Amino acid sequence: MTLRTTHRVATTLAGAALLLAVSGCAVASPSANASSSATATSEPSATLQASPSASSTPGQVAAPGSWTATETLVQPRQEHTATLLRDGRVLLTGGDPADGTGPLVSAELYDPHTGSWTATGSTNEVRYGHTSTLLPSGKVLVVGGYGDIGPLASAELYDPESGTWTATGSMIEARAYQTATLLRDGTVLVAGGSFALSGAPLASAELYNPDSGTWTVTGSMGGVRGGHEATLLSDGRVLVTGGFSIGEAGAVGPDPLASAELYDSNSGTWTATRDMHEGRFQHTATLLRDGAVLIAGGGYDPLTTVERYDPTNGSWTVAAPMIEDRRGHTATVLPDGKVLVAAGFNSSRGLVASAELYDPESGTWTATGGMIEARDGHTATVLLDGRVLVAGGSGNGYLPASAELYNPVSGT
């Protein structure tokens, strides 16, 4: 993802009974088997630095570590996907306009050279909570999500050259808020997600073959989960972390999973790895240059906590906490290897515009320029020139059509 999720993701997973409680809950089910957690160790604590001011003037030259506005979207949207195309443009697909009209079929393209958005071909079906994956051919595979009446099994392909969508083989099971991971052999692994409007999650997984346009069943995860994260490791395995299952004795309420498991594409099987130190959903999972995976935030009550996974021995190490607790944020690896965490929902301030940087070498967090608008459910995409494009999402009581650019190095 890396498609990122919003409050609505959690409430959808939880079902209508949780809508009056909080906007970030889900129903749970038996958790996946996992071995015992690694012993916690500590890294240096976070430090707070002054944040440069962000300008809301489109086209203004950006100072290092600051945000500037770019042209607004053609269509306000949240729970959409963003995909960097080979030519450097960014494709936004589907989502929810939050105006009562239902999910979107529209798609649009961002041109970083002109800073403008233009409409492109519409998808064949309305959808939100779906996934989008850039294939080796340069086409984009969009899968599942919620349609007008429930989860979808359908999939379609976007051709950037023609700007059109064509249907491809449907998944074996309908699902939404699943993960989709491009494997080394060019196939796409789809795992878990919800199969009903109630948010009941799945354990099943399936593989898409771009050559044949068909899906085949692969091994199921050790337990059901939705709202999780999936990360392709340097050795080709896939690490799945957190998400939701169901609560004990059918209890209504959030039950974030601490469990994690690994998919081996050679055998088509999953094996449990050690549990995270805390259960999480709406967290981020980011592959670092050294092959470790950085897990940040998330949780029913938003967390500041961070941990790192070492694929060589399957252990988790407690890392320095973020400056602010948050869930529904984005995490993006910058060209220098640092990780930019932006926006999200904070336990005391609600939606926030703040951003911070994690330095894997020092293991510390520092504040960077704040965004122009607070939001969650947005997307964050690293452009070919190293800037980060943030688009759409949910604002404080409204749905921003805005987009903004983060400049980590120099003026644009």
pLDDT (tens digit, 9 = 90+) per residue, 229-247? 999 999 999 999 999 886 4
In sequence order, the 6+-apart residues with CB closer than 8 A to the CB of 154 are 124, 125, 144, 167, 170, 171
* Count of the separate structural domains present in the chain: 1
- Asked, for residue 307, whether it belongs to a domain, the answer is yes
- Asked, for residue 2, whether it belongs to a domain, the answer is no
Domain of 175 in residue numbering reads as: 7-407
Domain at 64, CATH number: 2.120.10.80
- Asked, for residue 276, whether it belongs to a domain, the answer is yes
CA distance 142 to 95: 12
- Asked, for residue 412, whether it belongs to a domain, the answer is no
- Asked, for residue 1, whether it belongs to a domain, the answer is no
pTM score of the predicted model: 0.84
Query: pLDDT per residue over 27-78, tens digit each?
Result: 222 223 333 333 333 333 333 232 333 333 333 344 568 999 999 999 999 9
| Window from 2-11, 153-162, 206-215, 285-294 with minimum mean pLDDT | 2-11
